[in-house]
Amino acid sequence: MIRREDALAQDAADPLAPLRERFTLPQGVIYLDGNSLGALPKATALRLEQLVGTEWGEDLIRSWTKHGWIDLPLRVGDKIARLVGAAPGSVAVADSTTVNLFKLMAAALRLRPGRRVILSEDGNFPTDLYVAQGLVELLGNRHELRLAEAADIAGAIDEDVVLVSLTEVNYRSGRLHDMAGLTRRAHEAGALILWDLAHSAGALPVDLAGADADFAVGCGYKYLNGGPGAPAFLYVAPRLQGAFRSPLTGWLGHAAPFAFETGYRPAPGIARAIVGTPSILSLAALEIGVDLALAADIAAVRAKSLALSRLFIDCVVQDCAGLGLTLAAPERDDERGSQVSYRHPEGYAVMQALIARGVIGDFRAPDILRFGFAPLYLRYADIFDAVHILREVLATKAWDRAEYKRRAAVT
């Protein structure tokens, strides 16, 4: 029998508990959607005020050097590198996750010219698949995107595969791939591997260098709390940087951007992955979020993430039995990211009813209720309370109202 007092005791013993005070969180809301849009760090508003009022407003164009705007993509990249086990100089902040996927996939195909298959997971986040489809079409359909079920990926890596493109944590199920094992398997077959860390960076320990990964991308607005649509990042292993050629050859990725030469020459190192002028407002906000993520010990983050998830699952077993939920996430902790998902035939309406009661998770078609656990600002008591409300919604069929079933364009 889990009681609310137990959750409160966990909060009292939580070494990460003080970090919650560094976020703005609305009253009356239990926010289980930090894996879609992370919460607002209190320091962000102040940083933006300074950036806009002083740096842009007063120092204008001079801020590119005076306030180091020009260094932001690599400076914030180096900070993110510490979160994902990457060496300094191997991560840049740039563009969106999708655009970065395109750069890396196109570069991978050029590094293994004889091979033709991009292998990904059936059920990978759509943009990862769409980018591969668009690239294959652009290059004249001489390559092919092949999909395999999560459990069959390792077996599907053969001599035709140029690139294995996987999201470490599945956006729907929360299933966590074995990065080290699959990277080893890809390399044994002579393939390259690209890891999408959208649901990993800031939520669990990632060791890109230790796994010997080739490429990675990740998202700034989820567990890094960089704000809506924060710029993304990308990683190129140092051993590949010399041969890496981005298909997006922009002036800020040039070896000498301010020489305004007629011919493109790639900048040394990861800087060649930068394309156009970065959005400084968004980059500055991202830096605050990354700094906050760096303030926490990532092992403690992972431990709390799993404890929150375990508490959620246990509370659902205790309180929601027979109410129509089916666990859609791996049972084992070591196979799960920082979220838990359930299927429910009326999943959309159930989530709307929850949101109306202040429990914010999200719905993923066709029938997935997704609950994300951001350890920097969630409390164990929040989990207990959320499941209590979930039980109430299900037991009373509170979801069975027309207003909850009417789907909005964005959910």
Residues 3-62 that bind a second copy (CB under 8 A): 24, 26, 29, 31, 33, 36-37, 39-40, 44-45, 48-49, 52-53, 56-62
23 is catalytic: no
Name the active-site residue from 31, 102, 221, 233: 221
196 is catalytic: yes
Q: Which amino acid is at 77?
A: G
Of 37 and 393, the one with the shorter C-beta distance to a second copy is 37
- Spatial separation of the C-alpha atoms in residues 333 and 307, rounded to whole Å: 9
Bridge partners (DSSP) listed for residue 235: 91, 216
Smallest gap from Cβ 257 to a second copy, in A, equals 8
Name the active-site residue from 336, 370, 379, 391: 370
Smallest gap from Cβ 322 to a second copy, in A, equals 29
Name the active-site residue from 79, 103, 185, 222: 222
Residues 153-212 that bind a second copy (CB under 8 A): none
Smallest gap from Cβ 218 to a second copy, in A, equals 12
260 is catalytic: no
Residues 359-378 that bind a second copy (CB under 8 A): 360, 362, 364-365
Residues 389-408 that bind a second copy (CB under 8 A): 408
- Spatial separation of the C-alpha atoms in residues 195 and 84, rounded to whole Å: 11
Residues 229-258 that bind a second copy (CB under 8 A): 229-232, 245-252, 254, 257-258
312 is catalytic: no
Of 185 and 272, the one with the shorter C-beta distance to a second copy is 272
Of 305 and 352, the one with the shorter C-beta distance to a second copy is 352
370 is catalytic: yes
> Should residue 138 be labelled a site residue for a second copy when binding is judged by CB under 8 A?
yes
